[in-house]
Amino acid sequence: MTIFDNTLDADGALIVGAGLAGLFTALKLAPRPVTVLSPKPLGMGASSAWAQGGVAAAIGQGDSPRAHAQDTEMAGAGIVDHGTAEGVTAEAVARIEDLARWGTPFDRDDFGNFELGREAAHSANRIVKVEGDRAGWAIMQAIIAEVRRTPSIRVVEGITALSLARDNGRIVGVYCRRLGDRYSEPIYIRARATILAAGGLGGLYAVTTNPPGVRGHAMGMAARAGAIIADPEFVQFHPTAIATGADPAPLATEALRGEGAILLNDLGERFMPAIHPDAELAPRDIVARANFRQIQAGRRVFLDTRQVLGADILTRFPTVSKYCHDAGIDPVNDMIPVTPAAHFHMGGVKVDERGRSSLPGLWVCGEASCTGLHGANRLASNSLLEAVVFGARIAEDIGGLEPARSLAPFEGIEWNEAEGNKAEEVLRNTIAVQELRRIMGDLVGVERDEAGLKAALRQIAHLEATAEQVTSAFLNMTTSATLVAAAALRRTESRGGHFRLDFPEPSGDWEHHTEITLGEALAIRAGA
């Protein structure tokens, strides 16, 4: 199909984003027609491909979905939706079977049983792993191959969505641009159903584990179109990103602490046992804050795997070992320097149990959504699970599409490596983007307070008003940043991933989700 009048037809459903959420939904929709938009070649630019731990599923002997749901609720600090937790954990095994059927080579023992890992705040071994710490990469390779084999899925690479298109209050598609093409008119792709699966917002922070393109675009786009946003203040900081100065910061998976690795400061002190009875396996926000405070006090923090893993780290954690080697660290004999980094967004576009947003015609899946599963703090390895469970539900919910034999490619839109890399560099080096990421890290980060949040909101408004070029992509980022900071200012308590120095305790008055629109966030910003 060629572009006519800058309008294209998705011929059915349109999925924005090609991480696990987007691709799994596409496969579940088959043989109904679906077009998937991906800024980069499939597998690149998605957090999904970087996941190290695996997928949580109560699959082991003696474990149960009920126990998994209870752990999820415990980690979520009082505001997990009970029904969502019960439903998602109950559907886990069926979705793992889907992934296995599509070729994911899960780690199994000699009898074919899943090998199950342990991560913080799980009461059982229930992390289904692939190739040690390469779960995300291996799952994505398998489902990308399945997507490529499926003729009813049209994949468009080298394109980025800017805004949602609305007609009479209904979402009817998206406006997009070819990567690197900043000056021509946006292309309008119209669709019968639009599924936003463009990831979280870690990249809004100066120190993050997320890929560079995952910067709050999804939540920003939806909020600008009028969608209700839920819990945006809840950002999870991973305690152990490898502190090499690289952007993004490579991750040292929590499974290392599950294996018994400990945290030490540069004085050789192990500080976690004095802070929490579960020490290094305390909930992520507690470990992240402990590391943050050590670093604020001028100390360096290290993850010591030497005693528990020794040379085994090389074979059992090949991804972490490679990251270490790339940074000149010998993980067998040296401790690994670590730092907290923005990692996962519990909040997002509010959806119901079928993945429907508040805007007719718009479904949201994966980290871009807020299903109520994570509450104030995500339980490790629950996010890939959430992506596949809701992907399946969304595919079931979308009605009225007839099966298609195959879809013709969109002529003239394709990934161009030189252009794509240049576009990413331009965005990374844009002063306003750097400044936004600094503001978020300094003032809306691991620890927050009223003065800092108000300053952040004023500074974000100033950036919007004065940035050399206020593109839709930049507005999506500042919109998401505004929502996080405004909701964080409004929530005068501490809970899970949201910690207020001036309100350090949880408050019964706040034991509920946040719902906020962009209009409300802008009003809070105007008063800051």
Q: By three-state DSSP, how is residue 42 classified?
A: coil
Considering the rule CB under 6 A, would residue 433 count as an interface residue with ligand FAD? no
Measured distance CA(242)–CA(319) in Å, rounded: 12
Candidates 344, 390, 369; CA nearest to 95 is 390
Among the listed residues 52, 72, 236, 305, the single contact to ligand FAD using CB under 6 A: 52
Considering the rule CB under 6 A, would residue 21 count as an interface residue with ligand FAD? yes
The distance of closest approach from Cβ of residue 196 to ligand FAD in the complex, given in angstroms and rounded to an integer, is 9
Considering the rule CB under 6 A, would residue 302 count as an interface residue with ligand FAD? no
Among the listed residues 150, 194, 377, 381, the single contact to ligand FAD using CB under 6 A: 381
Measured distance CA(390)–CA(380) in Å, rounded: 17
What amino acid occupies position 384? L
Among the listed residues 8, 14, 27, 37, the single contact to ligand FAD using CB under 6 A: 37
- Is-catalytic flag, 284? yes
Task: Give the phi and the psi of residue 218 in degrees, each rounded to 5.
Answer: -65, -55
- Burial code (b: 16+ CB inside 10 Å, e: under 16) for 202-226 equals bbbbbbbbbbebbbbbbbbbbbbbb
Radius of gyration of the chain (CA): 22
Considering the rule CB under 6 A, would residue 216 count as an interface residue with ligand FAD? no
Among the listed residues 89, 152, 339, 383, the single contact to ligand FAD using CB under 6 A: 383
Long-range contact set of residues 419-424: C-beta below 8 Å, sequence gap at least 24: 419/158, 419/178, 419/179, 419/180, 419/181, 420/39, 420/40, 420/158, 420/179, 420/180, 422/180, 423/179, 423/180, 423/182, 424/212, 424/213
Q: Which residues, in sequence order, are CB contacts of 370 under 8 Å at separation 6+?
A: 229, 230, 231, 346, 347, 348, 349, 350, 351, 513
Other Cβ atoms within 10 Å of 423 Cβ, number: 22
The distance of closest approach from Cβ of residue 365 to ligand FAD in the complex, given in angstroms and rounded to an integer, is 7
Considering the rule CB under 6 A, would residue 16 count as an interface residue with ligand FAD? yes
Among the listed residues 10, 14, 22, 34, the single contact to ligand FAD using CB under 6 A: 22
Q: 16 forms bridges with which residues in the sheet?
A: 37, 196
Measured distance CA(202)–CA(51) in Å, rounded: 14
Candidates 289, 234, 235; CA nearest to 263 is 289
The distance of closest approach from Cβ of residue 274 to ligand FAD in the complex, given in angstroms and rounded to an integer, is 28
Considering the rule CB under 6 A, would residue 19 count as an interface residue with ligand FAD? yes
- Which 155-194 positions form the footprint of ligand FAD (CB under 6 A)? 160-161
Of 134, 215, 284, 378, which residue is the catalytic one? Answer: 284
Among the listed residues 47, 104, 294, 371, the single contact to ligand FAD using CB under 6 A: 47
The distance of closest approach from Cβ of residue 14 to ligand FAD in the complex, given in angstroms and rounded to an integer, is 10
Task: Decide whether 40 or 68 has the Cβ nearer to ligand FAD.
Answer: 40
Considering the rule CB under 6 A, would residue 59 count as an interface residue with ligand FAD? no
The distance of closest approach from Cβ of residue 157 to ligand FAD in the complex, given in angstroms and rounded to an integer, is 10
Considering the rule CB under 6 A, would residue 72 count as an interface residue with ligand FAD? no
Other Cβ atoms within 10 Å of 60 Cβ, number: 16
Task: Decide whether 470 or 528 has the Cβ nearer to ligand FAD.
Answer: 470
Task: Decide whether 251 or 272 has the Cβ nearer to ligand FAD.
Answer: 251
Among the listed residues 10, 227, 387, 467, the single contact to ligand FAD using CB under 6 A: 387
**Stretches 38-46, 143-151, 317-325, 482-490: which one binds ligand FAD (CB under 6 A)?**
38-46
For 408, counting Cβ atoms within 10 Å of its Cβ (0-12 exposed, 13-18 middle, 19+ buried), the class is exposed
Assess contact for 26 and 36: CB atoms under 8 A: yes
**Stretches 86-94, 282-290, 309-317, 375-383: which one binds ligand FAD (CB under 6 A)?**
375-383
Considering the rule CB under 6 A, would residue 48 count as an interface residue with ligand FAD? yes
- Which 328-357 positions form the footprint of ligand FAD (CB under 6 A)? 344
DSSP 8-class letter at 332? T
Considering the rule CB under 6 A, would residue 141 count as an interface residue with ligand FAD? no
Considering the rule CB under 6 A, would residue 150 count as an interface residue with ligand FAD? no
Among the listed residues 38, 89, 240, 478, the single contact to ligand FAD using CB under 6 A: 38
The distance of closest approach from Cβ of residue 90 to ligand FAD in the complex, given in angstroms and rounded to an integer, is 17
Q: Which helix (H) or strand (E) holds 128?
A: strand 127-128
The distance of closest approach from Cβ of residue 20 to ligand FAD in the complex, given in angstroms and rounded to an integer, is 5
Size of the site for ligand FAD (CB under 6 A): 43
Measured distance CA(168)–CA(161) in Å, rounded: 21
Measured distance CA(380)–CA(260) in Å, rounded: 16
The DSSP code sequence of 242-267 is E-SS-SSPPB--THHHHTT-EEEETT
Q: Is the peptide bond before 248 cis (omega within 30 degrees of 0)?
A: yes
Query: Would you please indicate which residues are annotated as catalytic (active-site) residues?
Result: 284
User: Which residues lie near ligand FAD (CB under 6 A)?
Assistant: 16-22, 37-40, 45-48, 50-55, 135-136, 160-161, 197-199, 209-210, 213-214, 217, 251, 344, 366-368, 381-384, 387
